[in-house]
Amino acid sequence: MGVSHRVFDFDRALVRRPAASVVDGLRAGDHAGPSYEGVAAEHEAYVTALRAAGIEVEVLAPLDAFPDSIFVEDPALVFSGAAILLRPGAASRLGETDAIRPELARRFARVMELGGEGYADGGDVLVTPDMVFIGLSTRTDRAGADALSARLEELGLRARIVEPPAGVLHLKTGCSLIDEETVIATPAMAQSGVLDGFRHVVTPQGEEAAANALRVNDLVLLGAAFPRTRDLVEALGVEVVPLAVAEIGKIDAGLSCMSLRWKQA
| Burial classification of residue 166, based on how many CB atoms lie within 10 Å of its CB (0-12 exposed, 13-18 middle, 19 or more buried) | exposed
CATH code for position 221: 3.75.10.10
Asked whether residue 72 is assigned to any structural domain, the reply reads yes
What is the mean pLDDT of the segment spanning 251-258?
92
Q: Which of 37, 102, 100, 34 is nearest to 69 (CA)?
A: 100
The rounded distance, in Å, linking the Cα atoms of 221 and 239 is 9
- Whether the Cβ atoms of residue 188 and residue 194 lie closer than 8 Å to each other: no
Indicate the pLDDT class of residue 29, thresholds 50, 70 and 90. low
Q: Is the pLDDT of residue 135 over 80?
A: yes
Q: What is the pLDDT of residue 4?
A: 57
Per-residue model confidence as pLDDT tens digits over 66-93: 999 999 999 999 999 999 999 999 999 9
Q: In terms of residue numbers, what domain contains 102?
A: 12-262
Asked whether residue 39 is assigned to any structural domain, the reply reads yes
Task: Catalogue the active-site residues.
Answer: 170, 257
Q: What is the pLDDT of residue 155?
A: 97
Asked whether residue 6 is assigned to any structural domain, the reply reads no
Q: What is the pLDDT of residue 115?
A: 87
Q: What is the pLDDT of residue 72?
A: 97
Asked whether residue 45 is assigned to any structural domain, the reply reads yes
Pairing between β-strand 214-216 and β-strand 219-223 as defined by DSSP bridges: antiparallel
How many structural domains does the chain have?
1
Alpha-carbon distances, residue 81 vs 1, 78, 187 (angstroms): 9, 8, 36
Asked whether residue 4 is assigned to any structural domain, the reply reads no
Asked whether residue 184 is assigned to any structural domain, the reply reads yes
What is the mean pLDDT of the segment spanning 245-256?
92
Per-residue model confidence as pLDDT tens digits over 44-65: 999 999 999 999 999 999 999 9
The rounded distance, in Å, linking the Cα atoms of 171 and 128 is 13
In this structure, of 24-38, 165-179, 187-201, the range with the lowest mean pLDDT score is 24-38
Q: What is the pLDDT of residue 169?
A: 86
- Considering the entire predicted model, what is its pTM? 0.95
Asked whether residue 245 is assigned to any structural domain, the reply reads yes
Alpha-carbon distances, residue 221 vs 67, 109, 205 (angstroms): 24, 29, 20
Q: What is the pLDDT of residue 26?
A: 87
The rounded distance, in Å, linking the Cα atoms of 261 and 142 is 25
Q: What is the mean pLDDT of the chain?
A: 95
Per-residue model confidence as pLDDT tens digits over 95-107: 999 999 999 999 9
Asked whether residue 3 is assigned to any structural domain, the reply reads no
Phi and psi dihedrals of 32, rounded to 5? -65, 150
